Amino acid sequence: MSKPQKPRILLVSTGGTITMLSDGEGGLSPCADAGMLLERVPELRALAVIDVLPLVNVDSSNLQPGLWVRLAQAIYERMPFYDGFVVTHGTDTMAYTAAALSFLLQELPKPVVITGSQVPLEDLGSDGRSNLINAFRVATLDLAEVALVFGSLIIRGPRAKKTSVFDMQAFTSVNAPPLGTIGLSIRLQEPYRTRSKRKPLLRAFLDPDVAMVPAYPGIRPAVVEYLTSTHRGLVLEGFGSGNLPTEGEASLCPAIAAATGRGVPVVVCTQCMVGSTEMELYQVGRAALQAGAIPAMDMTPETTLVKLMWVLGQARDLPTVESMMLKSFVGEVHETG
Ligand code: ASP
């Protein structure tokens, strides 16, 4: 009897702590060769036949939205040749990239798994080895989602958030249960999409000209006026259920109404980690809604920003932008009504 064939996995590296080395001045910076991932964790070859695609090698703080498109394109073009994809990435902006890949690559027939580490693979006590091995294990499962694998969690791309710079469990699944957990075995949790013969779609629309700012006590309306006159869209992180200053000269409502009047969407998410905007609840949220603000519901700020860039890449008129922001494309928002 012939041995079952190992799955083929493409490892796409982009940099991040997992492949970093100390630069001699005490700071961590990207090392030269991403091939070290396979050299340091050779047991990965027991799981799969692996090719490596070193796309870039940067600290993810330097990663710009254009790279999301390159990454999605690189995966899309190679989709027929592999059974799954693992992307290594810095943790700092991994949640943004996970959200972006979810919107850019739809109708996935196989898994795209993104991972990284808190401690360089080279260092004692690194979480890089286990995260990488687990990412490969997940990339061979009967799963067809963009998933972020970190610590013991498998998180749907648009629901991931970096919540700790200290804990090895650096990411949390926000406002949705994780896709699965990793312990003695891997347990996936329904609902999730399974592998199929469906044709993937590259929906690589992106207008990165979007700003994001939190509301804070003392925020001047000029901040909103400036950002909405220099960008094509704004994400405002509101207080609590999407509340904003609405009284007297500090009111943000005239600036929101003016932006909306010019066709510049202002999307309001919550700066709380758990829960949804509920802008009808308080007068201060209602006034912002009446001024034209679009609620982000239970999307994280990261996902709201990426989604607004993606939506503006394909639509400009505000009613379409609003209905797309409220619709769930990849499980990023809990649709109401
Ligand atoms: N600054 C690093 C990065 O995002 C942090 C990490 O990877 O953990 O690239």
**Residue 336 is assigned to a structural domain of this protein:** no
Q: Tell me the pLDDT of the chain (337 aa) as tens digits.
A: 677 799 999 999 999 999 887 777 778 877 756 778 898 899 999 999 999 999 999 999 999 999 999 999 999 999 999 999 999 999 999 999 999 999 999 999 999 999 999 999 888 999 999 999 999 999 999 999 999 999 999 999 999 999 999 999 999 999 999 999 999 999 999 999 999 999 999 999 999 999 999 999 999 999 999 999 999 999 999 999 999 999 999 999 999 999 999 999 999 999 999 999 999 999 999 999 999 999 999 999 999 999 999 999 999 999 999 999 999 999 999 987 5
- Domain range for 112 is 8-202
**Residue 156 is assigned to a structural domain of this protein:** yes
- Token pair 């990426």 in the structure block, residue: 306
Q: Are residues 195 and 274 in the same domain?
A: no
**Residue 1 is assigned to a structural domain of this protein:** no
Q: Are residues 150 and 87 in the same domain?
A: yes
Sequence-ordered strand ranges (E) for 16-163: 20-22, 28-30, 49-58, 84-88, 105-106, 112-115, 146-150, 153-156, 160-162
Q: Are residues 186 and 55 in the same domain?
A: yes
Ligand 1 atom closest to the CA of 116, numbered from 1 = 7
**Ligand 1 centroid – CA 335 distance (Å):** 33
Q: Are residues 161 and 259 in the same domain?
A: no
* Single residue among 160, 182, 202 that ends a domain in this structure: 202
Instruction: Tell me the CATH number at 252.
Output: 3.40.50.40
* Single residue among 186, 202, 218 that ends a domain in this structure: 202
* Single residue among 153, 172, 202 that ends a domain in this structure: 202
**Residue 99 is assigned to a structural domain of this protein:** yes
What's the total number of domains in the chain?
2
Q: Cα separation of 302 and 282, whole Å?
A: 25
Query: DSSP letters of 135-149?
Result: HHHHHTSS--SEEEE
> Which CA distances in Å does 17 have to 13, 14, 88, 193, 237?
11, 10, 10, 30, 28
Pocket test for ligand 1, best of 18, 23, 58, 60 (most atoms within 8 A of CB): 60
Q: Are residues 228 and 197 in the same domain?
A: no
**Ligand 1 centroid – CA 260 distance (Å):** 36
Instruction: Tell me the CATH number at 24.
Output: 3.40.50.1170
**Residue 86 is assigned to a structural domain of this protein:** yes
**Ligand 1 centroid – CA 291 distance (Å):** 39
301-312 and 94-104 helices cross at what angle (nearest 10)?
40
